[in-house]
Structure 1
Amino acid sequence: MPVTPGIYRLLGSAVTAISVILLAQPAAHAALPADATLPGTRVTVQENAGDPLTVSSYTLDNLAYLRRGGTFAKQSGYQEITVAPGGAKALAIPTSYNAGHDSVLLADLAAEKAYKVQTVQKPLVAHFAHWSRDGRKVVLTAQRKSESGGWATTGFVIVDAVAKTARTVTVPGVDAGARFRWTPDNAQLVAEYQGGTRFYGQDGAIRRTLAKTGSPAGGEDAFSPSGRGMMTWCPASYAEYVCVWDRVSGKLSVKVKTVRPTALLGWWDERSFIAVIPASNAYRAVLVDVQGRPLRVLAEISADDWNKKIYLSYTRS
C-alpha cells in the first residue's frame, strides 16, 4: 500500500513520520558543514565535495536517522534505514512486528512515496538490509532464536523494489552467523560459510565456495567498485586483519597491514576502504589504502556512541 504526501492512512505512526520527512526536506544531499555533529550523538563527520561516498543514514541504540539534504532526522519506529546507491530509494525496518509479520518500508525518495511490504512471519526476523548496485532489489538476512538464546541465520529475504514484493528463501546448512550481501553483478548473494565465503543463487542454491578466506566484510558492499576485489576479515591464522581476494580467480590479492580495525564500512575506491580504528579512548572512521596507510579521517566517534552500537551507513553517489 503506497503512502503519498497528503494521505495519512494508519499503517503505523512510523510510516506517517517518514512521509512527513519526505515532504519537509529536499532530496538532494547538500554538503555537511565542516566537522558536522550527527543529531543525538557526539559523532562528527567530515566530508569533502566530490567524495564518492557519504553518510546517508545511521543507527544508534535501535534508533534510525535518515539524511535528507544537509540534515539528518530521526525516524521514529524504525531500527534500520539503508539508502540505495545513487540515493533515490531507501528501505526502513520497523522496531516491532505488525499482526505477526515482520515488514519493511520501501521509500521512493525522488517521488516522495513509501510502500509497506511484509517479509517474514514470527518467529523469524529479517534485517541487515543490503541493496543491489542497480537499486532494484534488497536482500535481508532471515534469523530465528537459537537454543542458546542468540540469533541464528536461516536464509534470506529478497525484496523487489520495483514490484514491491518480498520472497523468503530458506537455505539448508547455512552458516549460523551468515549475513547476506549482493555480488557486484546483482545476480548472486554472498555470505560467510565456515570461515570462508559461499556464493548463492537467488533460489538459495550453492553456486561456489571459497574456503579459508575469512568472512566477507565492508559495510554495505564487500566488493570493490570494479567488482574484482572482495574484502574479508582475514582468517585467524594470518597476522593481518583485512584481506582482499580476487573474486574471479579466488586467489588472495593482498593482506592489508594496518592497525586492527573495530569495523569495516566499505570500499571507497579501488585502492582504499573505510575502517573504524580505536584512537585515544575513542574511535575514528579512517580512509585506509590497501597498503595499510591512513589517508584521511572521515568521522570522530566517541566511546559512548560506539558502545551504543552506532553504525554509519555510507552510500555511493
Structure 2
Amino acid sequence: MSAASTGPAVPGSWAHHAGIEPAVPGSWAHRAETGSVEQGRWIKLAGTRGELNEAAGAPVRLASYSLVFDAGQQHYGYLREGDRFVRTPYREALAAPGGRWVAGIEDSRLWLAKRKIDLIDRRSGRTHTISLPAPVTSPEWSADGRTLLLTAYRPHRDGSLTTIGFVTVDAAERTARLVHAGPRHRVSDWGIGRSHRFYFAGSADRVLAVRNGPEAGPRKRRIAVYDLDGRQRRVYTGVGTLDEWHTTTPFSPSGRLFGTLLGDSRDSGGGGPIGIVDAETGKIVHRFGRDVRAFAGWYDDEHAIVQRERAGTRIYQRVDLSGGDAVDLIREKLVAGPADYRPHLERVNFVRRS
C-alpha cells in the first residue's frame, strides 16, 4: 500500500470536471504555451508546429499529449484545459477517460523511473501525491477511468532498470499495489518506459506485456496476459509486438481488438504494417499500412489512429480497419534541432467524451 499526501486546491480550471472550463489563472498560466481549441476547425497545438482537427460530434477528443526532445530522451507533458492546451510540470500528464483524474509524472527525463506520482482530481481541484512501492514509468488508465497502471522496476547502480511487474493505483482510494509479474528484462537509455511496459488487456482486471525481445523475430514474438495477482493467463504468439513508444492504449474501446506492429525490428520505435488482433481468438483479423510509422491508439471500434509522415510533416490519421477512409486528425511540421528534431509529438491521448 502507499502513502498519499494532499496538496492545496489548484486554482482555476483544475477545480472543474471535464468539459468547457475557464482559462488557467494559476501558476502554470504565466509560463504556458497555449493554443485555442474550437470544434470543427484546425487549431494550433501548444509547444509544436502542429494543428488539431477536432470535428463536432466525434466520439473522442485529444485530452493530453507529450512532446519528445533531446534525441528522444525527454518529454514535455501538455494537458487540455477547456479551450486550450497547457504545458505542465510533468513529462506525462495523462488525462483519464471521464475527465475527472489526471496522472502526472514529474521530471522530463524519460530514463528516470519515479517513486511518486501526482494524482490530480479535477472535480475538487486538489493534487494528491502518491508514494509508490517501486520506481515506475509508463502510465495508462483503465477504460472506466478508475485505475492507473504503471510499469515497475528494480534499479541498478549504472542507471539501468529491471522490470519486475506493475503497480495499480486506485484513484478514489489513492492506494497503490505492487504486483510481481512476467520475466525480468533489463532496460536502459531509450528502452526505459518504452520496452516491456505493461498495458491493460481490454479490461481493468487483466494486463499484458511483450514477453520476449526483437531477437525472437516477428513470428515468434510473444505477448503475455496476466491477472492482477501476476498469474499468467494467456500468451499470444506471432501476432506482432506492441508499439510501446507511441501507444497509450492498445485495446479498442470494447476490449475486443488490439493493435500491434508487424515489422521485423521494433527497437527504433516504429514503422511497418499494422496488425489488428481479435483478443478472443488470438488471430490477426486485419493488416494494413506498410507506410505507417506508429500505432497511436483507437478512435472507436471501427477506426484506429495511426501516424504517417509525408515531406517532413507528421500526420495522425483516423483510418478504418482496412487502412482506408483516412481522415487527418493532427498535422505537425517537423523542425530540425541541434540533436534531432525540436520538440514534437510522441504520445497523443485521445479519450472518449463523457
TM-score of the pair, normalised by structure 1:
0.83
Q: Deviations over 1:126-179 (max 9, x none)?
A: 121000112111111123567986554332111111210112223351455211
Aligned CA distance change for structure 1 residues 171 and 25 (closer, same or farther; 3 Å) = closer
Higher relative contact order (CA 8 A, sep 6+): 2
Match of 1:53 among 36, 57, 60: 60
1:226, CA displacement in angstroms? Answer: 2.0
Q: Deviations over 1:19-67 (max 9, x none)?
A: 2354587741479232211122111111011111211112224221111
Match of 2:164 among 136, 154, 157: 154
Match of 1:132 in 2: 142
1 CA distance for matches of 2:7 and 2:312? 44
Match of 2:298 in 1: 267
CA RMSD across the alignment: 2.8
Match of 1:93 in 2: 105
Aligned CA distance change for structure 1 residues 152 and 264 (closer, same or farther; 3 Å) = farther
1:212, CA displacement in angstroms? Answer: 1.5
In the comparison of the two structures, how many residue pairs are matched? 296
Match of 1:3 in 2: 7
Amino acid paired to 2:264: A
1:285, CA displacement in angstroms? Answer: 0.5
Match of 2:210 among 189, 192, 198: 192
What is the percent sequence identity of the aligned residues?
27
State whether residues 262 and 277 of structure 1, in contact with CA within 8 Å, keep that contact through their aligned partners in structure 2.
yes
Residue 335 of structure 2: SS of its match in structure 1? helix
Q: Deviations over 1:183-237 (max 9, x none)?
A: 2221110111222211011122211111121123472321222221121112539
Query: How is 1:1-317 mapped onto 2 (pairs within 5 angstroms)?
Result: 1-5=5-9, 19-20=10-11, 22-23=13-14, 27-29=18-20, 32-33=37-38, 34-60=41-67, 61=69, 62-76=75-89, 78-95=90-107, 102-121=115-134, 125-143=135-153, 151-175=161-185, 177-194=195-212, 195-217=221-243, 219-234=247-262, 236=264, 241-256=273-288, 258-304=289-335, 307=341, 308=343, 310=345, 311-317=347-353
2 CA distance for matches of 1:148 and 1:232? 32
State whether residues 286 and 294 of structure 1, in contact with CA within 8 Å, keep that contact through their aligned partners in structure 2.
no
Residue 128 of structure 2: SS of its match in structure 1? strand
1 CA distance for matches of 2:301 and 2:318? 12
State whether residues 239 and 283 of structure 2, in contact with CA within 8 Å, keep that contact through their aligned partners in structure 1.
no
TM-score of the pair, normalised by structure 2:
0.75
